Structure 1
Amino acid sequence: MSETSTWTGKHFRRLADDATWWENIFYIVDIVHPLVHVLRIVDSMEPCIGKVYEAMDHTIELLKTLVKDNDSNEEISTIYVRRWNAYHSSLHAAAYILDP
């Protein structure tokens, strides 16, 4: 039996042929990619707080260019900034300044 003879196969075939669906997937990947970059930095075994500061700043600025809808941009930026503020400390700021 062919995979396109089942309901699930037909549904996935329609998705695979839908250009709008792929555009949405690429859009999501573009938004998530900077976050994955930050996670990789944080997960490294090197001192990285300075790199994390720089990456988060870059990520927030990049989101402003990627997300065209102002409401969505504000919502996503708020989530990023709130999460960033939860982990921010004066010690981290000092490490950022001292990071070569």
Structure 2
Amino acid sequence: MAVLDRIATARDDAFAARVAMILMTSCVNVANEDPTYENHANRLHFAQLHFRAAVNTKALAAAIIANNTTIQGEIDSAPTQLGANVPDSDLEYVIGGLFDNFANAYASVS
């Protein structure tokens, strides 16, 4: 069942670690971006939370999977791989597109 395979992937430690590492790269970039960049305060706050390991990367992995049909298809085509077949470039693309959504969702978290 596709949904159960996607849940298993989002909960997989190795997949979540990949999400965390790719997200870390984005967070380092945000920490160094121009402070006048749109939504910078929320973006920086989210980056700082991730630096402190205060972000649930398995929840973010679920959001990434739910948001992208390409990643869903990759998981569905080889469910036993638990997302190992999902290229890093696909994760980078989706994280880049969702970064502000994540930042805004974590804006009130201290």
Higher Cα Rg, which structure: 1
Q: Shared fold (TM-score greater than 0.5)?
A: no
> Counting helix residues as a fraction of each chain, which structure ranks higher?
1
TM-score by length of 1: 0.29
TM-score by length of 2: 0.27
